[in-house]
Structure 1
Amino acid sequence: MPQWRQGLTKSLHQTRSMPESRYFQLATVDGSGTPFCRTVVFRGMTDENQLVVISDTRTEKYSQLEKNAQAQVCWYFSKSREQYRFSCLATIITASQDINLVKQHWNKLSDAGKKQFLWGEPGTPRNDGTALQIEGDFDEVPPHFCVILLAIESVDYLNLRGNPQSREWHQKDANGNWVSQALIP
Structure 2
Amino acid sequence: MTELPPWRPLLRAARQREGRSPAARWLQLASVAADGSPRVRTLVFRGWADASVLELLTDGRSAKAVELRRQPAVELCWLLVRARSQFRLRGRLLEADAAADRAARLRHWQGLSPGGRALWAWPAPGAPLEPGPCCAASFPAALDDATPLPRHFQLLLIQLQQVELLELGGHPHRRRRWRLEQGWREEDLNP
TM-score (norm 1): 0.91
Cα 1:95–1:125 change in 2 (3 A) is farther
Residues 160 and 134 (structure 1), Cα distance of their counterparts in 2 relative to 1, 3 Å cut: closer
Runs of 4+ in 1 over 4 A off after TM superposition: 92-97, 134-138
Please give the root-mean-square deviation of Cα atoms over the aligned residues, in Å.
2.0
- Aligned CA distance change for structure 1 residues 33 and 3 (closer, same or farther; 3 Å): same
2:33 to 30, 44, 52: 30
SS in 2 for 1:117: helix
Determine which of 41, 44, 68 is the counterpart of 1:65. Answer: 68
How many percent identity over aligned positions? 30
Q: What amino acid does structure 2 have at the position aligned with 1:157?
A: L
The code of the aligned residue for 2:122 comes to W
Q: How far off is 1:123 after superposition?
A: 1.0
* 2:80 aligned with 1:114: no
CA 86–4 in structure 1, closer or farther in 2 if over 3 Å, else same: same
> TM-score when scaled to structure 2?
0.88
8 Å CA contact retained: 1:56, 1:62: yes
Counterpart secondary structure, 2:108: helix
> What SS class does the counterpart of residue 53 from structure 1 fall into?
strand
| In 2: Cα distance, 1:3 partner to 1:166 partner | 16
Corresponding position: 1:91 with 2:94: yes
Query: Which is richer in helix?
Result: 2
Contact kept in structure 1, 2:48 and 2:55, CA below 8 Å: yes
In 2: Cα distance, 1:126 partner to 1:30 partner: 22
Encode CA deviations 1:40-62: one digit per residue, 9 max, x unaligned: 00101122311111111100110
Unaligned ranges ≥5, structure 2: none
Q: Which runs of 5+ in 1 are unaligned?
A: none
**Are the counterparts in 2 of residues 51 and 149 from structure 1 also a CA contact under 8 Å?**
yes
Q: How many residues align?
A: 183
Checking the alignment, whether the CA contact within 8 Å between 1:92 and 1:146 is kept in structure 2 is: no
Stretch moving more, 88-97 or 5-14: 88-97
Between 60-69 and 136-145, the greater mean CA deviation after superposition: 136-145
For 2:37 and 2:18, locate their aligned partners in 1 and report how far apart those are by CA, in whole Å. 33
> Is 1:148 aligned to residue 124 of structure 2?
no
The equivalent residue for 1:161 is 169
